[in-house]
Amino acid sequence: MARGRNDITARIRALYNELPPQVTLVAVSKTRSDEEIREAYDAGQRVFGENKVQELVSKASRLPTDIEWHLIGHLQSNKVKFIAPFVSMIHSVDSLRLLSEINKEAGKCGRIIPCLLQFHIAREESKFGLDLEEAVVLLESEQYRSMRHIFIAGVMGMATFSTDVALVRKEFSNLREIFNTIRNQFFASSARFTYLSMGMSGDYPLAIEEGSNMVRIGSNIFGER
Ligand SMILES: *Cc1c(COP(=O)(O)O)cnc(C)c1O
Protein backbone atom coordinates (compact mmCIF):
# COMPACT_ATOMS: atom_id res chain seq x y z
CA MET A 1 0.00 0.00 0.00
CA ALA A 2 1.21 3.52 -0.75
CA ARG A 3 2.36 5.60 2.18
CA GLY A 4 0.96 8.93 3.27
CA ARG A 5 2.85 12.12 3.92
CA ASN A 6 3.79 11.47 7.51
CA ASP A 7 4.93 7.96 6.77
CA ILE A 8 7.31 9.03 4.00
CA THR A 9 8.76 11.77 6.20
CA ALA A 10 9.16 9.32 9.07
CA ARG A 11 10.85 6.72 6.84
CA ILE A 12 13.33 9.27 5.49
CA ARG A 13 14.15 10.42 9.02
CA ALA A 14 14.53 6.85 10.25
CA LEU A 15 16.91 6.05 7.39
CA TYR A 16 19.06 9.10 8.07
CA ASN A 17 19.28 8.04 11.71
CA GLU A 18 20.22 4.54 10.71
CA LEU A 19 22.62 5.03 7.80
CA PRO A 20 26.28 5.64 8.57
CA PRO A 21 27.33 9.18 7.56
CA GLN A 22 29.45 8.03 4.60
CA VAL A 23 26.47 6.35 2.93
CA THR A 24 24.56 8.35 0.31
CA LEU A 25 20.85 7.60 0.14
CA VAL A 26 19.35 7.48 -3.34
CA ALA A 27 15.57 7.54 -2.90
CA VAL A 28 14.24 5.36 -5.70
CA SER A 29 11.13 7.15 -6.94
CA LYS A 30 10.20 5.08 -10.00
CA THR A 31 6.41 4.71 -10.38
CA ARG A 32 5.86 7.26 -7.55
CA SER A 33 3.76 10.37 -8.02
CA ASP A 34 5.08 13.93 -7.96
CA GLU A 35 3.28 14.35 -4.67
CA GLU A 36 5.08 11.43 -3.05
CA ILE A 37 8.43 12.69 -4.32
CA ARG A 38 7.67 16.17 -2.95
CA GLU A 39 6.96 14.65 0.43
CA ALA A 40 10.40 13.09 0.48
CA TYR A 41 11.87 16.35 -0.82
CA ASP A 42 10.19 18.32 1.94
CA ALA A 43 11.70 15.88 4.44
CA GLY A 44 15.10 16.96 3.13
CA GLN A 45 15.85 14.28 0.53
CA ARG A 46 17.60 15.62 -2.60
CA VAL A 47 18.96 12.57 -4.43
CA PHE A 48 16.38 10.55 -6.36
CA GLY A 49 16.79 7.53 -8.62
CA GLU A 50 14.68 6.60 -11.64
CA ASN A 51 15.02 3.62 -13.94
CA LYS A 52 13.24 4.88 -17.06
CA VAL A 53 14.37 7.78 -19.22
CA GLN A 54 10.89 9.00 -20.14
CA GLU A 55 9.71 9.04 -16.55
CA LEU A 56 12.91 10.70 -15.37
CA VAL A 57 12.66 13.48 -17.96
CA SER A 58 9.04 14.27 -17.25
CA LYS A 59 9.46 14.26 -13.47
CA ALA A 60 12.56 16.43 -13.67
CA SER A 61 10.63 19.00 -15.69
CA ARG A 62 7.98 19.35 -12.99
CA LEU A 63 9.89 18.93 -9.72
CA PRO A 64 12.35 21.26 -7.93
CA THR A 65 15.53 21.99 -9.89
CA ASP A 66 17.87 21.29 -6.98
CA ILE A 67 16.98 17.59 -7.06
CA GLU A 68 19.91 15.42 -8.11
CA TRP A 69 18.50 12.83 -10.49
CA HIS A 70 20.29 9.51 -10.83
CA LEU A 71 19.51 7.12 -13.67
CA ILE A 72 19.72 3.65 -12.11
CA GLY A 73 18.07 1.46 -14.78
CA HIS A 74 19.23 0.05 -18.08
CA LEU A 75 19.99 2.83 -20.56
CA GLN A 76 19.76 2.60 -24.34
CA SER A 77 22.26 4.67 -26.30
CA ASN A 78 19.57 6.41 -28.32
CA LYS A 79 18.00 7.83 -25.16
CA VAL A 80 21.10 9.35 -23.62
CA LYS A 81 20.44 12.70 -25.29
CA PHE A 82 17.24 13.22 -23.30
CA ILE A 83 18.94 13.07 -19.90
CA ALA A 84 22.41 14.44 -20.71
CA PRO A 85 21.43 18.08 -20.01
CA PHE A 86 20.60 17.51 -16.35
CA VAL A 87 21.27 14.00 -14.99
CA SER A 88 23.59 13.98 -11.93
CA MET A 89 24.82 10.40 -12.17
CA ILE A 90 24.31 7.34 -14.38
CA HIS A 91 24.61 4.05 -12.45
CA SER A 92 24.07 1.65 -15.32
CA VAL A 93 27.01 1.90 -17.72
CA ASP A 94 27.56 -1.58 -19.13
CA SER A 95 29.36 -0.96 -22.43
CA LEU A 96 31.98 1.22 -24.06
CA ARG A 97 29.44 2.13 -26.72
CA LEU A 98 27.03 3.51 -24.12
CA LEU A 99 29.79 5.37 -22.31
CA SER A 100 30.91 6.88 -25.58
CA GLU A 101 27.39 8.08 -26.30
CA ILE A 102 27.13 9.64 -22.83
CA ASN A 103 30.47 11.36 -23.41
CA LYS A 104 29.29 12.73 -26.75
CA GLU A 105 25.97 14.05 -25.46
CA ALA A 106 27.53 15.47 -22.28
CA GLY A 107 30.00 17.31 -24.52
CA LYS A 108 27.17 18.91 -26.47
CA CYS A 109 25.81 20.23 -23.17
CA GLY A 110 29.22 21.36 -21.93
CA ARG A 111 28.91 18.94 -19.02
CA ILE A 112 30.92 16.23 -17.31
CA ILE A 113 28.67 13.38 -16.19
CA PRO A 114 29.74 11.03 -13.36
CA CYS A 115 29.10 7.40 -14.31
CA LEU A 116 29.20 4.09 -12.48
CA LEU A 117 30.13 0.82 -14.16
CA GLN A 118 27.40 -1.72 -13.57
CA PHE A 119 28.54 -5.25 -12.74
CA HIS A 120 26.65 -8.48 -13.04
CA ILE A 121 27.01 -10.08 -9.61
CA ALA A 122 23.66 -11.90 -9.24
CA ARG A 123 22.67 -15.41 -10.20
CA GLU A 124 19.74 -14.16 -12.25
CA GLU A 125 20.36 -14.12 -15.99
CA SER A 126 18.25 -11.04 -16.52
CA LYS A 127 20.39 -8.54 -14.68
CA PHE A 128 22.59 -6.36 -16.83
CA GLY A 129 26.21 -5.63 -16.23
CA LEU A 130 29.85 -6.21 -16.97
CA ASP A 131 32.26 -8.71 -15.53
CA LEU A 132 35.71 -7.64 -14.33
CA GLU A 133 37.43 -8.71 -17.51
CA GLU A 134 35.08 -6.67 -19.70
CA ALA A 135 35.54 -3.64 -17.46
CA VAL A 136 39.31 -3.90 -17.73
CA VAL A 137 39.10 -4.00 -21.52
CA LEU A 138 36.88 -0.92 -21.43
CA LEU A 139 39.16 0.99 -19.06
CA GLU A 140 42.27 0.13 -21.06
CA SER A 141 40.79 1.26 -24.37
CA GLU A 142 42.08 4.34 -26.17
CA GLN A 143 38.50 5.40 -26.75
CA TYR A 144 37.74 5.52 -23.02
CA ARG A 145 40.97 7.31 -22.25
CA SER A 146 40.13 10.07 -24.68
CA MET A 147 36.74 10.86 -23.12
CA ARG A 148 36.59 14.29 -21.54
CA HIS A 149 32.91 14.61 -20.66
CA ILE A 150 32.43 11.63 -18.36
CA PHE A 151 34.30 10.21 -15.45
CA ILE A 152 33.97 6.85 -13.76
CA ALA A 153 32.86 7.58 -10.19
CA GLY A 154 32.61 3.97 -9.02
CA VAL A 155 30.65 0.76 -9.52
CA MET A 156 27.09 -0.48 -9.09
CA GLY A 157 25.52 -3.89 -8.77
CA MET A 158 22.40 -5.78 -7.73
CA ALA A 159 22.48 -8.94 -5.67
CA THR A 160 20.27 -11.93 -6.33
CA PHE A 161 16.71 -11.39 -5.10
CA SER A 162 16.90 -14.03 -2.39
CA THR A 163 16.49 -14.66 1.32
CA ASP A 164 19.78 -16.59 1.29
CA VAL A 165 21.83 -14.16 3.37
CA ALA A 166 25.12 -15.97 2.74
CA LEU A 167 24.61 -15.78 -1.02
CA VAL A 168 23.69 -12.09 -1.01
CA ARG A 169 26.61 -11.26 1.28
CA LYS A 170 29.00 -13.12 -1.01
CA GLU A 171 27.75 -11.19 -4.03
CA PHE A 172 28.19 -7.85 -2.27
CA SER A 173 31.64 -8.80 -1.10
CA ASN A 174 32.45 -9.82 -4.66
CA LEU A 175 31.44 -6.35 -5.88
CA ARG A 176 33.52 -4.70 -3.18
CA GLU A 177 36.52 -6.69 -4.39
CA ILE A 178 35.84 -5.59 -7.95
CA PHE A 179 35.64 -1.99 -6.72
CA ASN A 180 38.99 -2.31 -4.91
CA THR A 181 40.68 -4.03 -7.84
CA ILE A 182 39.58 -1.36 -10.32
CA ARG A 183 40.46 1.46 -7.98
CA ASN A 184 43.96 0.12 -7.40
CA GLN A 185 44.57 -0.69 -11.05
CA PHE A 186 43.09 2.39 -12.73
CA PHE A 187 42.24 5.11 -10.23
CA ALA A 188 44.95 4.93 -7.58
CA SER A 189 45.83 8.59 -8.07
CA SER A 190 42.24 9.85 -8.44
CA ALA A 191 39.89 10.96 -5.69
CA ARG A 192 36.90 10.72 -8.00
CA PHE A 193 36.49 6.94 -8.04
CA THR A 194 34.57 6.70 -4.77
CA TYR A 195 31.13 5.11 -5.01
CA LEU A 196 30.22 1.53 -4.32
CA SER A 197 26.50 1.59 -5.15
CA MET A 198 24.87 -1.52 -3.74
CA GLY A 199 21.92 -2.29 -1.50
CA MET A 200 18.15 -1.92 -1.97
CA SER A 201 15.21 -2.06 0.47
CA GLY A 202 15.55 -5.79 1.07
CA ASP A 203 19.30 -6.02 1.48
CA TYR A 204 20.84 -2.61 2.25
CA PRO A 205 22.01 -3.43 5.83
CA LEU A 206 23.99 -6.34 4.42
CA ALA A 207 25.36 -4.19 1.60
CA ILE A 208 26.57 -1.58 4.10
CA GLU A 209 28.26 -4.27 6.18
CA GLU A 210 30.06 -5.25 2.98
CA GLY A 211 31.25 -1.71 2.31
CA SER A 212 28.50 0.01 0.33
CA ASN A 213 28.54 3.82 0.45
CA MET A 214 25.53 4.41 -1.80
CA VAL A 215 22.20 2.65 -1.29
CA ARG A 216 19.22 2.77 -3.65
CA ILE A 217 16.05 2.49 -1.61
CA GLY A 218 12.47 2.65 -2.89
CA SER A 219 9.80 0.57 -1.21
CA ASN A 220 11.29 1.00 2.25
CA ILE A 221 10.56 4.74 1.89
CA PHE A 222 7.44 4.90 -0.27
CA GLY A 223 5.77 1.56 0.44
CA GLU A 224 5.30 -1.42 -1.86
CA ARG A 225 5.05 -0.67 -5.55
C1 LIG B 1 13.79 -0.44 -8.14
C2 LIG B 1 15.25 -0.39 -7.95
C3 LIG B 1 15.82 -0.20 -6.68
C4 LIG B 1 15.01 -0.05 -5.41
O5 LIG B 1 14.24 -1.16 -5.12
P6 LIG B 1 13.44 -1.27 -3.72
O7 LIG B 1 13.37 -2.74 -3.49
O8 LIG B 1 12.12 -0.65 -3.95
O9 LIG B 1 14.24 -0.56 -2.70
C10 LIG B 1 17.19 -0.14 -6.59
N11 LIG B 1 17.98 -0.26 -7.66
C12 LIG B 1 17.49 -0.44 -8.89
C13 LIG B 1 18.43 -0.57 -10.03
C14 LIG B 1 16.12 -0.51 -9.09
O15 LIG B 1 15.63 -0.70 -10.33
pLDDT one-digit tens code per residue, 65-106? 999 999 999 999 999 999 999 999 999 999 999 999 999 999
Task: Answer for the pair 1, 224: CB distance below 8 angstroms, yes or no.
Answer: yes
pLDDT at 148 (0 to 100): 98
**What is the 140 CA–ligand 1 centroid distance (Å)?**
31
pTM over 0.85: yes
Per DSSP, the residues of 24-70 read EEEEE-TT--HHHHHHHHHTT--EEEES-HHHHHHHHHHS-TT-EEE
Q: Calculate mean pLDDT across residues 203-212.
A: 98
Residues 92 and 116: their CA atoms lie apart, in Å, by 6
Atom index in ligand 1 nearest the CA of residue 30 equals: 1
118 Cβ closer than 6 Å to some ligand 1 atom: no
pLDDT one-digit tens code per residue, 12-31? 999 999 999 999 999 999 99
pLDDT one-digit tens code per residue, 167-207? 999 999 999 999 999 999 999 999 999 999 999 999 999 99
Nearest Cα to 52, choosing from 82, 8, 97, 25? 82
Residues 7 and 148: their CA atoms lie apart, in Å, by 43
